[in-house]
């Protein structure tokens, strides 16, 4: 299908956030597996900055990136789920951005990412040499508790990533919908009466970048 049959649905900041998080999660996994803890803390600081930016962007970003756009009630989720296994599903499965189920999966992944970062900030190493930047605010047991649940939350993240990949494969094979391409070029096949993306104001982008970048910079300084 040519671009003339496709409508812009994802703005550039949303797409850069998505792929940036994908890369950083992979690097976080690799860095902890290879015991490069200084690098791991830096990656964690960058992830924290991304989370802060995405929360802001979910409030003031482009129309399809806003939480109010894709977090739907139980009725909408159930209606979408009923039509999910039909190739020729009706209007309940036509969405201009995240579908009702996908929207909540985004919220869960974002909340879990924030949880991982939060525990990581307070995580205490056994010898206290490779602890999180805020570990000094807790006693030894508190730091070890944070470290334990930092790891457990990341294990859950790996499971959710696998489910996310399975969903992408399902949509590609069964629904004939290329979600990966949409998150690369920002476009989806045009559907009648479907609203296109309404871009955010420039001031919202500037403030979001300043907030996310400021948090990442501060945590990197604290980790150093």
Place of tokens 């139980």: 74
* Domains identified in the chain, total number: 1
Quote the CA–CA distance of 172 and 213 in Å, as a whole number: 35
Residue 3: pLDDT above 80?
Answer: no
pLDDT-derived band at 214, boundaries 50, 70, 90: very high
Backbone angles phi, psi at 129, to 5 degrees: -90, -25
- Contact predicate 153/108, CB 8 Å: no
Domain span including residue 159: 3-223
Q: Give the span between the Cα atoms of 67 and 49, in whole angstroms.
A: 18
Distance between CA atoms of residues 221 and 224, nearest Å: 5
Q: pLDDT per residue over 27-72, tens digit each?
A: 999 999 999 999 999 999 999 999 999 999 999 999 999 999 889 8
Q: Give the rounded percent of residues in the chain with a pLDDT score beyond 70.
A: 89
Confidence band, pLDDT 50/70/90 cuts, at residue 194: low
Nearest CA to 209 out of 106, 57, 74, 71 is that of: 57
Confidence of residue 192 (pLDDT cuts 50, 70, 90): low
Closest CA to 191 of 75, 99, 65, 72: 99
What tens digit of pLDDT does each residue of 115-156 get? 999 999 999 887 766 789 999 899 999 999 999 999 999 999
Which of 40-44, 97-101, 220-224 has the highest average model confidence (pLDDT)? Answer: 40-44
Residue 95 pLDDT grade (very low, low, confident, very high; cuts 50, 70, 90) = low
Which tens digit of pLDDT belongs to each residue from 154-181?
999 999 999 999 999 988 888 788 889 9
pLDDT at 2 over 50: no
213's tokens: 């970048």
Q: Is the pLDDT of residue 193 over 80?
A: no
Q: What is the CATH number of the domain that holds 76?
A: 1.20.950.20
pLDDT computed for residue 86 by the predictor: 66
Cα separation values, 109 from 10, 25, 87, 157, Å: 18, 12, 27, 7
The most confident of the ranges 1-10, 89-98, 176-185, 192-201 is: 176-185
Burial-class residue 147 by CB neighbours within 10 Å (0-12, 13-18, 19+).
buried
């Amino acid at each position: 299908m040519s671009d003339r049959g496709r409508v812009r649905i994802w703005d550039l900041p949303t797409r850069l956030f998505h792929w940036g998080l994908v890369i950083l999660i992979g690097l976080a996994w690799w860095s902890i597996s290879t015991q490069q803890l200084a690098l791991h803390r830096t990656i964690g600081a960058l992830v924290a900055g991304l989370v802060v930016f995405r929360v802001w962007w979910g409030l003031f970003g482009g129309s399809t990136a806003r939480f109010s756009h894709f977090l739907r009630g139980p009725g909408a989720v159930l209606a979408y789920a009923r039509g999910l296994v039909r190739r020729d599903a009706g209007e309940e499965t036509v969405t201009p951005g995240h579908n009702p189920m996908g929207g909540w999966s985004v919220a869960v992944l974002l909340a879990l990412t924030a949880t991982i970062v939060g525990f990581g900030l307070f995580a205490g190493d056994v010898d206290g040499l490779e602890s999180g930047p805020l570990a000094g605010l807790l006693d030894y047991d508190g730091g070890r508790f944070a470290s334990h649940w930092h790891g457990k939350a990341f294990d859950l993240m790996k499971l959710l990533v696998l489910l996310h990949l399975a969903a992408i494969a399902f949509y590609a094979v069964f629904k004939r919908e290329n979600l990966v391409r949409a998150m690369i070029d920002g476009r989806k096949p045009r559907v009648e009466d479907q609203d296109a993306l309404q871009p955010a104001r420039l001031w919202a982008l500037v403030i979001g970048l300043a907030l996310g970048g400021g948090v990442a910079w501060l945590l990197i300084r604290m980790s150093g």
